[in-house]
Structure 1
Amino acid sequence: MSPTRPFTNGVYCPLVTPFKAETEAVDFDALEAQVVRLANARMGIVLLGTNGEASHLSDTERAAVIRVARNALDASGHTAIPIMAGTGTGSAKETIRLSEEARDAGADYVIVIPPGYFAFAVDTSSLKKFFIQVLDASPLPVMIYNFPGAASGIDFDSDFLIDLSEHQNCFGAKLTCASIGKGHRLSAHTSSAAYKARHPRPFFVMPGYSDILLPALVSRASGCITGTGNIIPKTIVKLYDTAVSALATGNAEQLQAARELQDLVAEADWAIVKSGIGGTKYAMDMYVQPGLGGVPRSPLPPASAGIQTMLASGLERAIAYENSL
């Protein structure tokens, strides 16, 4: 439960899993290229999340995605960069099994979304039992993934997350609920001297959007995990670096620079959020490198003509800035 590659503060990207247009088979060459591109930009690696269409993959494909990514990182000299992989599924038993397989394939950490299929039949106590079972048995440290939109509306409050943060195998929470207040309360608890005295490892509070990165950092967040990192990783890393420096020094000019970068990232992030996974993959192919994103697996639709037009305007400023870095 103590990986040799430490998880650190910063910005992380939930990678898309690229599929070939003809067969919807995983395009491992494109995956390797994206992993190395993001690592070179100092963007952390998260596999098999929502953007990664984990629910569309077989167990064999999940393991292969992790192995290929680990090999690509090692071969490109990024041996110290950890991999976090999504293993949440419909039951505690299967989530634990997938966590074991993720470890065997080369993952260092796992991120677990609550089981949403039976959301109508479970309550808070059942969900807490689910996470305790996973935390007790997972061979890798676990980050809780709070994303109501992908879990049938299940939305954990700060009390629930603070309780689970006390488990020694829980090392963080991704908050794709866009709640700065929830993150602030969780950060205040886990950054306190009393908490640190009980826990030898740090706890990471990671918003799931980059459009709130600056205000989240003010509230002691550890960084963010953002799908927009698939498109503009260098820009988001620069926003993070500028914001952290401004908050540490109190430099007014740096803070203004961080605000201006946040304006740019918020505009791009909203375009990507509205476009969905199909739009994200289209933007990667159109504005980064042809074939890098690939197609989504059915039933997810590709980007419509309307989405393509929206992305052209919504990403214009951010793409120009990214290409200037």
Structure 2
Amino acid sequence: MPSLRPGILAPLPCFFNADETINYDQFAKHTLRLAAAGIMPVVSGSMGEAIHLEREERIQLIKTARIALDQAGFASMPIMAGAGALSTRQAVQYAKDAASAGADSVLVIPPGYYGLGEANLEAYYTSIAKQSPIPVLIYNFPAVAGGIDMSSDLILRIAGKAPNVAGCKLTCASVAKLARVAQSPLSPRTTGIPFFALCGFIDFLLPGIIVGAQGAITGVPNFAPKTCQELWELCQKQMTPENLTQANKLHLLVSNADAAASSAGIPGMKALLHYLEGCEPYVRSPLLPASAIAAEKLISDPAIFSILEHEKQLSSRR
């Protein structure tokens, strides 16, 4: 089974009960709902409130996803797991835990507390990659990493030194950086694994694909999985004028929904899934659940309404 494959991945929310314990049954059902549309899971990422989870909870979430996928006939679907931490030692432990629990790769965000420089980051990733039993992806997300914005030169330098660094997720949303990384020959690498450059938002998937992106990790499939998969499949076609027009139209629909959902954050996503699927809307403190007014604003947002209508149309065709 490939540890990585091109396509759309979704960072799965972590569903809680009213007492902030994890609702693993709900998590498994949501994982399968997305898998049925072809969406691959990212467990314990930013959307999954990873920073609020205990080590054993992270392990159990991965096990839950793996068992659910295997039992439902999705044994070939890879799982990516978040493994970033503030210390190298802890990140290595998370990577080893993820591998033992059934993950196929790990996504590692820079430790942003001290505002580390390039030498620190290079040592951080190469050390994790050396000790991780599964491939490591760099997660460049300045907004939640103390403003650290890794350059393409740094990413490629790390990849050259650490063959087990198999790709990156660019939530900095830089198409130019993505192009530089995706199109680099990475000549120092000794592994046959292709370097996966992934869009961190789906709102630059179409231009990202043109410059070499292997896919996107995005929260939108949590509520519109069939639409996101449709966009991915359309992006794989030869870009005739007709296909490009169609792709641009669908890309705008998804991009507008991405902007609306991103502004509502994790509480908003939980409220939207509660409305759509009956999933519990609870978050873990210090986050607060979306207010009734905020939830209604998101649900009635024209961008959300439009993509949900398109999702219904796709569901009725299949």
Match for residue 141 of structure 1?
A: 135
The correspondence for 2:226, drawn from 227, 231, 234, is 234
The correspondence for 1:290, drawn from 257, 261, 278, is 278
Q: Distance in 2 between matches of 1:211 and 1:46?
A: 18
Q: Once superposed, which parts of structure 1, at least 4 consecutive aligned residues long, lie more than 6 Å away?
A: none
Shift of 1:310: 3.6
Letter in 2 for 1:270: A
The correspondence for 1:225, drawn from 217, 223, 234, is 217
Shift of 1:311: 3.8
1:250 paired to 2:239:
yes
Q: Distance in 2 between matches of 1:174 and 1:197?
A: 19
Q: Distance in 2 between matches of 1:111 and 1:270?
A: 23
1:209-231 deviations in Å (ceiling 9; x for gaps): 01111111111111100011111
The correspondence for 1:308, drawn from 269, 292, 296, is 296
Structure 2 counterparts to residues 77-156 of structure 1, below 5 A:
77-119=73-115, 122-156=116-150
Q: Distance in 2 between matches of 1:57 and 1:310?
A: 26
Structure 1 segments unaligned to the other structure (5+ residues): none
Q: 1:271–1:311: 8 Å Cα contact kept in structure 2?
A: no
What's the C-alpha RMSD, in Å, of the aligned pairs? 1.4
Partner-residue secondary structure (3-state), 1:211: helix
Q: Give the paired residue count.
A: 311
* TM-score of the superposed pair, with normalisation by structure 2: 0.94
Partner-residue secondary structure (3-state), 1:300: coil
Compared CA separation, residues 213 and 157, structure 1 to 2 (3 A) = same
Q: 1:90–1:117: 8 Å Cα contact kept in structure 2?
A: yes
1:56-81 deviations in Å (ceiling 9; x for gaps): 11111111100111000001000001
Identity of aligned residues (%): 36
Q: Distance in 2 between matches of 1:183 and 1:10?
A: 16
Match for residue 10 of structure 1?
A: 7
Structure 2 segments unaligned to the other structure (5+ residues): none
Letter in 2 for 1:112: V
Letter in 1 for 2:165: C
Letter in 2 for 1:276: G
Q: 2:28–2:65: 8 Å Cα contact kept in structure 1?
A: yes
Match for residue 273 of structure 1?
A: 262
1:129-166 deviations in Å (ceiling 9; x for gaps): 11111111111110000011111111101111111222
1:87-136 deviations in Å (ceiling 9; x for gaps): 110111111111111111111111101111222xx321111111111111
The correspondence for 2:25, drawn from 21, 24, 29, is 29
Q: Distance in 2 between matches of 1:139 and 1:16?
A: 25
Shift of 1:307: 5.0
The correspondence for 2:49, drawn from 47, 53, 60, is 53
* TM-score of the superposed pair, with normalisation by structure 1: 0.92
Letter in 1 for 2:273: M
The correspondence for 1:76, drawn from 72, 78, 81, is 72
Letter in 1 for 2:14: T
Q: Distance in 1 between matches of 2:296 and 2:199?
A: 27
